[in-house]
Structure 1
Amino acid sequence: MPNRSSVAVAVRGAVTQDEAEHVRDAVGPEISALGHPVEQARVRLTRYGGRDLPMLVVAQVNVVVADRMVRSQLAASGADEAIDGAAAGLRWRLHRLGRRLAAERSGDILGLSPAGWRPVLLPSPPTGLLPVRERPRKLVRSKSCRLAVQDVDAAAFTMELRDYPFHLFSDDTTGAESVLYRGGPTGYRLLRTMAGPEPTGTSVPLTVRSWPAPVLPVAQAVETLNANPTRSFVFFTDPAIGRGRVLYRRYDGDLALLSPTW
């Protein structure tokens, strides 16, 4: 089981040795206290800003437990605040995963709810360093992944366990690319590339958008996100590939594109 010394720390930007050591002091006890083997523990500490930009430190913790990836991420103006906040989020998620693993062994099913999942004391991270309207943001990164085929409850569990602002997955009933995120009157909102009936038998309080995701070329999705500074992502069907994709804001304010592997 990883201890303090086995937590791998990667740094980017102007990060001091003391700040890197504080990562191990904050994260090591959390993973050591878990009653399950931890296969991997990695932390990335990044400092953005400088010159005329405000400073922002992002701490991201990734651990693998029972073949499940758990991630906690927090941004703050100081390194210690970011590290301690990410460690607190990790503690909460590891506890929730431990309950889930125990339930799986006993055959119980644990329901999910916004109140039971989201750590209400942890602030939401900012979307970027600069005001979005200061200049049009560019698409600087594209990545693809094999989408998990899931029902909505499983998608919610994955999203919260990995501290994602949204989760792109393949709906197990229709096969459509779908996005689950926090929002709407119930706490969770579901978007899909095709219209269809609302999922049944879910334990997650859910609002389903009744119309399909808009059909947009990537360039138009970039224009749409740049024109809406309060939005953190755009889910759309790309006519060039006929698949659902997500364009989202990075911490540095620029844009990234997430696509299903095809």
Structure 2
Amino acid sequence: MSNRSSAAVAVRGAVTPDEAEHVRDAVGPEISAIGHPVEQARVRLTRYAGRDLPMLVVAQVNVVVADRMVRAQLGAPSAAEAIDGAAAGLRWRLNRLGRRLAAERSGDVGLGHGGWRPVYLPTPAGLLITRNRPRKLVRSKSCRLAVQDPDAAAFTMELRDYPFHLFADDTTGAESLLYRGGPTGYRLLRTVVGPEPAGSTVPLSVRAWPAPVLRVAKAVETLNSAPARSFVFFTDPSTGRGRVLYRRYDGDFALLSPAW
């Protein structure tokens, strides 16, 4: 798909023709403005509803530009609000990628003081609402982890609109998790205790102790007992590998593990 083409729309649930057209009107100009070929572009609208969850529409935009995957998503009560919010998030991320590509061409990709700015996104509706019943694990997935330093991990997390990013620490090789939080804006958790990252420009606080050793059932219990938490990073005792249990938009849990 060229950068002048409309984004294809993959739909979950009922979406009207007007909503599909709104997607093209909101997202198409952002893709065209990047000035680089877009290898892929897709938008997904998903509706969530339940007895204890109000209607929520989640718009997720995924594009691939210069071999980088860029993602933006937002949940809102209406499709129009979700689409507009996701398009605004995509604009910010494409602009940031454009600056990075320009810096790579000039050979100056380092970020000095103030170059990093954590992006605090609206909490998905429903995640912090007290539930009438315990939530359960409904999905498990695995992925090959990129071996990265914290700067690369932060850049990946911001481009992909992730609330956290699971990766392999390039110093220790251990599973590590970066998320927005702590006194500096970014916090690094690891499955092993290791040295402070050297040469990072991202403002980082590093937890001094390793991730807790938990079985999946205990991680589910831990997240159910802490409604304000959105994830639990832990070491699985049967594998010794780091895993993340996190809340989905519908309130139930998903498990992310490193691929073997």
Range class of TM-score, shorter chain: over 0.9
Paired with 2:186 and 2:52, the residues of 1 have a C-alpha distance of 37
Q: CA deviation at 1:130?
A: 8.2
Where structure 1 has 5 or more consecutive residues not aligned to the other structure, the ranges are none
Paired with 2:113 and 2:131, the residues of 1 have a C-alpha distance of 35
Query: Secondary structure at 1:200's aligned position in 2?
Result: coil
Superposed structure 1 runs of 4+ greater than 2 Å apart:
2-5, 50-53, 112-120, 127-133
Which amino acid in the other structure matches residue 38 of structure 1?
V
Name the CA shift for 1:86/1:115 in 2 (closer, same or farther; >3 Å): farther
Preserved CA contact (<8 Å) 1:146 1:260: yes
Name the CA shift for 1:14/1:185 in 2 (closer, same or farther; >3 Å): same
Query: Secondary structure at 1:134's aligned position in 2?
Result: coil
141, 148, 151: which one aligns with 1:150: 148
Deviates more, 1:102-111 or 1:223-232: 102-111
Preserved CA contact (<8 Å) 2:59 2:86: yes
Q: CA deviation at 1:135?
A: 0.8
Aligned length: 259
Preserved CA contact (<8 Å) 2:13 2:46: yes
Is the aligned partner of 1:3 residue 2:1?
Answer: no
TM-score of the superposed pair, with normalisation by structure 2: 0.94
Which amino acid in the other structure matches residue 2 of structure 1?
N
Preserved CA contact (<8 Å) 2:19 2:79: yes
Paired with 1:141 and 1:112, the residues of 2 have a C-alpha distance of 40
Preserved CA contact (<8 Å) 1:152 1:202: yes
Preserved CA contact (<8 Å) 1:138 1:222: yes
Paired with 1:131 and 1:104, the residues of 2 have a C-alpha distance of 43
Deviates more, 1:157-166 or 1:77-86: 77-86
Equivalent position of 1:251 in the other structure: 249
Preserved CA contact (<8 Å) 1:54 1:129: no
Equivalent position of 1:214 in the other structure: 212
Q: Give a deviation string over 1:53-110, Cα, whole Å, max 9, x none.
A: 4111100000000111000011111111110110011011001001101111110024
Query: Secondary structure at 2:157's aligned position in 1?
Result: helix
123, 132, 135: which one aligns with 1:134: 132
Preserved CA contact (<8 Å) 2:235 2:243: yes
Equivalent position of 1:185 in the other structure: 183
TM-score of the superposed pair, with normalisation by structure 1: 0.93
Q: CA RMSD in A?
A: 1.8
Preserved CA contact (<8 Å) 2:187 2:205: yes
Name the CA shift for 1:208/1:41 in 2 (closer, same or farther; >3 Å): same
**Mapping 1:165-180, distance limit 5 Å:** 165-180=163-178
Where structure 2 has 5 or more consecutive residues not aligned to the other structure, the ranges are none
Paired with 1:17 and 1:194, the residues of 2 have a C-alpha distance of 51
Q: CA deviation at 1:115?
A: 7.5
Q: CA deviation at 1:129?
A: 6.4
**Mapping 1:1-262, distance limit 5 Å:** 1-5=2-6, 7-49=7-49, 53-111=53-111, 116-119=116-119, 123-126=121-124, 128=126, 131-262=129-260
Preserved CA contact (<8 Å) 1:72 1:86: yes
Preserved CA contact (<8 Å) 2:146 2:167: yes
Name the CA shift for 1:52/1:260 in 2 (closer, same or farther; >3 Å): closer
